[in-house]
Amino acid sequence: MLDVQNLTFSYAPEQTPWTFSFQLEPGECIAIQGPSGSGKSTLMNLLAGFLTPRSGDLLWKGRSLLKTKPWERPITSVFQENNLFEHLNVLRNIGLGIHPGMKLSVAQQQAVENGLREVGLGGLGRRMPSELSGGQRQRVALLRALLRDQPLLLLDEPLTGLDAETRALLRSMLLQHKSRGTAIVLASHDEEDRQRLADTVWNL
């Protein structure tokens, strides 16, 4: 489904470039492991389309995604932070993720309400991001990503800083989506995240 073919990138011409190659099938999770600065977030940004590779290709179902704008790729990303629009409340942040015009069906609105309850944020839909803790913000970002329901999920340290109970809950939600066919690229320092979620661990 996803075929990363010798995708090379460097921030500066004198820097030795990274070369990334791997494949991912529906329902598969690859965990990217490596010390800080090894290029995990760089890889995520290349896949998401926020960075442009120097060479190589990125195929989705056999077609190149390189000319596809980030928001038109079949991908949702959750980064370490700054995932939310600060001027929009929780419901609007999630709504915008699901539909660019925020026109949600009744079923979708219900899914948002249920999702918020499921991640322990029931009743907080009208809060602004600045009125939430870091962990609550991250739960909103993950919930929005899951509700978007794109076939490929990029998770860059998404559970960092959350308490054990919340991590376990979000991990099980991720596993549910994975079993329904969502493919995941996961950067995580957490051994347990990798063990529970990843089919393959790749060292950078």
Applying CB under 6 A, which residues contact ligand ADP? 11, 34, 36-42
Residue ranges of E strands in 35-121: 55-60, 63-64, 75-78
Answer for the pair 46, 53: CB distance below 8 angstroms, yes or no.
yes
Residue 42, binding choice from ligand ADP, Mg ion, none, Cβ under 5 to 8 Å by partner class? ligand ADP
As measured in angstroms, the least distance from the Cβ of 170 to Mg ion is 19
Answer for the pair 121, 140: CB distance below 8 angstroms, yes or no.
yes
As measured in angstroms, the least distance from the Cβ of 111 to ligand ADP is 32
Q: Which residue, 34 or 56, has its beta carbon nearer to ligand ADP? A: 34
Residue with tokens 């995520």: 44
Rounded to whole angstroms, what are the CA distances from 38 to 49, 75, 168, 201? Answer: 19, 23, 27, 15
Q: Which residue, 169 or 197, has its beta carbon nearer to ligand ADP? A: 197
As measured in angstroms, the least distance from the Cβ of 158 to ligand ADP is 13
As measured in angstroms, the least distance from the Cβ of 40 to Mg ion is 5
Rounded to whole angstroms, what are the CA distances from 174 to 52, 151, 153, 167, 204? Answer: 28, 12, 10, 10, 23
Residue 11, binding choice from ligand ADP, Mg ion, none, Cβ under 5 to 8 Å by partner class? ligand ADP
Task: Indicate whether 93 belongs to the interface with Mg ion (CB under 5 A).
Answer: no
Q: Which residue, 183 or 187, has its beta carbon nearer to ligand ADP? A: 187
Distance in angstroms (rounded) separating the CA atoms of residues 78 and 141:
7
Find the angle CA(80)-CA(82)-CA(85) to the nearest 5 degrees. Answer: 145
Task: Indicate whether 41 belongs to the interface with Mg ion (CB under 5 A).
Answer: yes
Residue 38, binding choice from ligand ADP, Mg ion, none, Cβ under 5 to 8 Å by partner class? ligand ADP
Give the closest residue to 88 by CA, choosing from 120, 113, 133, 125. 125
As measured in angstroms, the least distance from the Cβ of 141 to Mg ion is 15
Residue 37, binding choice from ligand ADP, Mg ion, none, Cβ under 5 to 8 Å by partner class? ligand ADP
Which chain residues interact with Mg ion by CB under 5 A? 40-41
